[in-house]
Amino acid sequence: MKQLRQENIFYLIVWGLLFATPLLSLYVRTVNDSAVEFDWSEVFIVFRKFSVYLAIFLIHNFLLAPLLVHKNKRVAYFSIVAVVIALFTFYQCNSRSGMKKPMGHRPPMEKMDRHRPPHVGNSPRALHGERHTFRPNDAPPPIVGERDIMAVVVLILMLGGNLGIKYYFRSRDDHKRLAELEHKNLEQQLEYLRYQINPHFFMNTLNNIHALVDIDPEKAKDTILELSKMMRFVLYEGNKQGVPLSREMDFIRHYITLMQLRYTDKVHINVNLPSEVPDCQIPPLILITFIENAFKHGITYKHESFISVEVAVEQNELQFSCLNSKADSSDEEKGGVGLANVRKRLDLLYGRDYTLSIDDTPDVYSVRLVIPFLQ
């Protein structure tokens, strides 16, 4: 929003100066020459010409330029711009040809008769309708004049300048977002260690492993292995911009496996993750926040609870959904700091190219996220 506001302020200043130019020019002429009067009709004629350019500029700036700059629809953009230039050329030619020549520029009749060749007028050849050779001044005006060509050139330069300015502001915004994203990735790793893999989680997991040592030593060994894999991913992959989708899926499986040790059969956990995934990348630790919130806010020991996690791959995007029941005593804000951080990170990574929808009903809390794969 700040970048867009700065861009619009720049356009406002440029067009303001442009419309002020005829006023200042006429004022200077009246000051320097007392015989010249301040005639508003001259100013309005210039304003009318400028208004045509301004109308085309507004259409290009707010409707056409975004097709190329933000959506990269080159064919649609250049096709529409070609039509706009053609219509402007047609308007320019018609407005020129429709204007009457001032009467003061018409040569007097005496001069016309004086310079008339002897074979033109009442000569016998003229009376008999014989054709004569036209002089250069008698030739019809061209369809497109010099002024029309200059007007079209000015229009093309104006549209090109508008595109250049938009690309400049977008490039500057992209550099700013990239620097902020690199800084945010470092913060995200610390925030994840603080809010997701917190000491409470480790305490419960270690207590479960301690209880399994005497009951089921083999399962205790497997649990320790799951925990080590999980921590290895956090320490060595969590600070990267993108990780393979297969590793992210493995991390989610390890996390849910460890969380299942804490709950009885009253908690129904359904996990549907793709067994085979394409060789593509997503931001690390981007999905685990929603799963952690489901365990934190959706589980109660008073009645049966459920958590359902599903991941699907469609073409070049990842579709994630997480549903959970709601605990009776859960009155705190769902998601908290973790969800706010994920929203901010998604904005930095994808801008408007992602979908995050959250449905909070009295009984069920559901999250659906659609993100494209990283290039």
The pair phi, psi for residue 338, each rounded to 5°, is -60, -45
CB 227 within 8 A of CB 212: no
Assessment of whether the complete model's pTM goes beyond 0.85: no
- Angstrom CA distances, 5 to 9, 72, 103, 126, 345, stand at 6, 22, 50, 70, 23
CA-wise closest residue to 170 among 182, 181, 159, 178: 178
Q: Selecting from 3.40.190.10, 3.40.225.10, 3.40.50.2000, 3.30.565.10, what CATH number does the domain 196-372 have?
A: 3.30.565.10
Q: Which residues pair with 243 in a beta bridge?
A: 282
pLDDT mean over 205-229: 82
The pLDDT value given to residue 324: 93
CB 47 within 8 A of CB 22: yes
The 3-state DSSP class for residue 179 equals helix
Does position 320 have pLDDT exceeding 90, yes or no? yes
pLDDT mean over 14-19: 91
For 74-105, letters b (16+ CB in 10 Å) and e give eeebeebbeebeeebbeebbeeeeeeeeeeee
What are the pLDDT digits (tens) for 146-197? 777 888 899 999 999 999 998 888 888 777 777 777 767 756 655 554 444 5
Cα–Cα distance between 2 and 242 in angstroms, integer?
Answer: 28
Domain ranges of the chain: 2-175, 196-372
Residue type, 255: Y
